[in-house]
Structure 1
Amino acid sequence: METIITTSIRTLIGFFVLLFLTRMLGKKQLSNITFFTYITGIALGNIAGDMVVHRDIKLIDGVTGLTLWSILTLMIEYVSLKSPKARVILDGEPSIIIKKGKILEKVMAANKLNMDDISMLLRAKNIFSVAEVDYAILEPNGQLSVLKKAEQEPVTKKDANIPITPRKYIPSELIVDGKIVQSNLKEHNLKEEWLMNQLNKLGVKNVKEVFYAELQADGKINVDKKAQN
């Protein structure tokens, strides 16, 4: 019983310390946008895990390790932010894999990529033929950015001279599981009275009837009612 209690306490402490530190490190860390942030995420997870399960590691040592690693990460990120040279060293830089439709074999080899890898990355962009590609750039996070050849680009409304109606709103959720998302109403300067009027027009008398409601770009709302039991 004592073992269970001790492990539970160590787990709770490790969980909340790790949560606090990852929030402090910011969204860039959570997205694993570079090799450095990816490695940092793994290291923090390992330190927290060891702190929880290894009794020979004191809690204070584990928390100190997590805190120090996070501070060092913030320092490195600050240096990277202020110095372009440091940013290249720490984060790497983009590599052009396909240039003007030509595959650059030496660049592929330098990045340890083969044609199967390139084909897979292109398919993730809904491109199934290299012939469609003008430029392909391998980003520092391993993702591929693609610029299609001009003749392969989709036609836009501007190209087709189609009249464009400006968006009134950014599509946002207004109701989730029967509860109004007040922050989004406030963001768009909308009132609950307006929302209820819109729901009434759609035959909805009570917010609790709605599973999901979304504000559309034109000001209308899309409503998905809860399933009837």
Structure 2
Amino acid sequence: MLDGFSFWEIFTRTIVTFAILLFLARIMGKKQIGQLTFFNYVTGITIGSIAAELVAHDDTHYLNATTALILWAILTLLVSYVTTKSSKVKELLDDKPSIVIKDGKILEKELKSNRIPVTDLTMLLRLQGVFSVKDVHFAVLETNGELSIFKKVAQQPATKQDVKAPVAEPKYMPSTLIADGIIIQKNLLGLNLTEEWLIKEIKKSGVNSVDQVFYAQIESNGSVYIDLKDTNL
């Protein structure tokens, strides 16, 4: 049975640690829950382990462990900031999305490089309501392990087949062209498009500079969606 001193020490440690975790979760934002990549997963487990050590072990120096907890959170915030500014760092930490199905064909090389069994792929398809690989135009394995699916036009809801409307295959896979004022060159290259073409497209929308664009995406029909930066922020 715990003596009075041990009980109150554990009680105090628990309350203070809980308050610190609540504060850190608040300043670290929603990414830990909403976009759980492998790096985020490891970070969450580590912070939880340090917090558990603080509460459960009397021989753990409280100030040292609290410092480690706060430093780990600061490092996580720093890495998150760097990854928003550098696509290379983000790719190094979180890898990059992989196209695993194209035009109804499973890309075996991509499955092997991501160590995904075909049975897991078909399970992810079923979770998205897709029971036939041939119905998929593109399937992208995201960095958080989820599967994004772009169905073939004939299989998409709103049933053009039902109304006997002509079915046209998409010209492009919807892709990010500009993120936070930076042109994504590898996406342009993959779509056989040029930077000059992109600049002409944004100028058609009355935008004079790429720096004004927060986000731009090419749609399946070749049009470009543009979201300008909020100058009030």
Instruction: Tell me whether the two structures share a fold, i.e. TM-score over 0.5.
Output: yes
Q: CA deviation at 1:71?
A: 0.7
> RMSD over aligned Cα, in angstroms?
1.7
2:105 aligned residue (102, 107, 114): 102
- Provide TM-score, normalisation by structure 1: 0.66
1:125: which partner in 2? 128
- Structure 2 gap segments, 5+ residues each: 164-233
- Deviation digits for residues 73-97 of structure 1 (CA, Å, limit 9, x no counterpart): 1111111111111111112110000
Separation of aligned partners in 2, 1:32 and 1:132: 27
2:42: which partner in 1? 39
AA partner of residue 18 (structure 1)? L
Separation of aligned partners in 1, 2:39 and 2:56: 26
1:65 aligned residue (65, 68, 71): 68
Identity %: 47
Q: CA deviation at 1:16?
A: 0.7
Q: CA deviation at 1:156?
A: 6.9
Q: CA deviation at 1:131?
A: 2.0
Separation of aligned partners in 2, 1:4 and 1:30: 33
SS in 2 for 1:15: helix
Separation of aligned partners in 2, 1:91 and 1:108: 17
Q: CA deviation at 1:32?
A: 4.3
Separation of aligned partners in 2, 1:52 and 1:145: 40
- Provide TM-score, normalisation by structure 2: 0.65
- Structure 1 gap segments, 5+ residues each: 161-229
Does the CA contact (< 8 Å) of 2:96 and 2:143 recur in 1? yes
Separation of aligned partners in 2, 1:104 and 1:86: 26
1:88 aligns with 2:91: yes
Larger Rg: 1
SS in 2 for 1:147: strand
2:78 aligned residue (62, 75, 79): 75
1:27 aligned residue (27, 30, 38): 30
SS in 1 for 2:149: strand
- Over 4 Å off, 4+ runs: none
Q: CA deviation at 1:103?
A: 0.4
- Deviation digits for residues 85-117 of structure 1 (CA, Å, limit 9, x no counterpart): 111111211000001111011110111111110
